[in-house]
Amino acid sequence: MKEKLNIGPTVFSDLILTECGRERCVPEKNVINKSKDYHLFHYVTYGKGNFQCDNKAYKVCKGMLFYIPPNVQARYSPDKEDPWTYQWLGFEGSAADYFLKLSGLSLHTPIIKDDKYKTILKPFDELVNEYLINGEFDINMLGIAYQMFGALLKNQKNTDQTYSLVETHIIMAKNFIDNNFQFDIKIDDVAGNIGVTPNYLANIFKKHDHSSPKQYLIKVRMENARRLLLTRSYMVKEVATLVGYKNQLHFSSEFKKFYGKSPLKYLQGVFHDEIN
């Protein structure tokens, strides 16, 4: 029988694979990832969930990869209504930091969205399938891992070519708001997160989006508030808290400005339409 060549620190040191797997999560699963001394990728293949790292919260869905750096504790959990399925890969090595820098992944930017051709998913899938069949890492799997990193770099290159710096700042600001609207955030927090001044952020929104960062934050909060109200599972006070308002009166006032009716009047109108 031909002997299989296993890989490890004594064979290759630039890229070392440490763990790998796939899981379809139940809605109740809440993971507190204890810090490890190697890098960790999770790629969401179905559903969606929540990811918290470095005191920031992110909404993650199908086609996204999230990254946990070494020696960093993270928390992640599936969405209750549409729980995710993900696959993961742990790795280290002398070239790992360099690959990550080129791909744009870091503690402060831990999320990447795969392109429309799913170039990252294809080698990631193959890598996990090989591991689940063989139960160990071999030279073939190391080659697939390099292909996956190549796809990551290609994905980043395509993103850089698609968006200007200003457009990238707007996208980053909107992503931050989308992932953190439920907290008591201010526009200063949004600007600080992407490394620009509040005035600069306001100017580029006005010029390219014909709105303002504050208007976008209110829009996201109101759309999510409407969705929560229509479930009829929450009181108005609870909805206000869930979309980032400490004061129920302030929330109701903003809701009325946005939809033309108070939260209760809005619900009554929807209920009346359903009956008729």
Residue 2 lies in a domain: no
Pair 146, 170 in one domain: no
What band does 39 get if pLDDT is binned at 50, 70 and 90?
very high
pLDDT of 88 higher than 90: yes
What band does 272 get if pLDDT is binned at 50, 70 and 90?
low
What band does 12 get if pLDDT is binned at 50, 70 and 90?
low
Pair 117, 64 in one domain: yes
| Range of the structural domain that residue 36 is part of | 16-162
pLDDT digits (tens, 9 = 90+) for 205-235: 999 889 999 999 999 999 999 989 988 889 9
* DSSP class per residue in the chain: -PPP-B--TTT-SS-EEEEEEEEE--TT--EEE---SSEEEEEEEESEEEEEETTEEEEEETTEEEEE-TT--EEEEE-SSSB-EEEEEEEE-TTHHHHHHHHT--SSS-EEE--TT-TTHHHHHHHHHHHHHHSS-BHHHHHHHHHHHHHHHHHHHHHHHHS-HHHHHHHHHHHHHHHHTTS---HHHHHHHHT--HHHHHHHHHHHTSS-HHHHHHHHHHHHHHHHHHTT-S-HHHHHHHTT-S-HHHHHHHHHHHHSS-HHHHHHHHHHHHH-
Pair 80, 126 in one domain: yes
Residue 10 lies in a domain: no
Task: Say what the pTM is.
Answer: 0.56
Residue 6 lies in a domain: no
Q: How many domains does the chain have?
A: 2
| Of the ranges 116-120, 123-127, 169-173, the best mean pLDDT one | 123-127
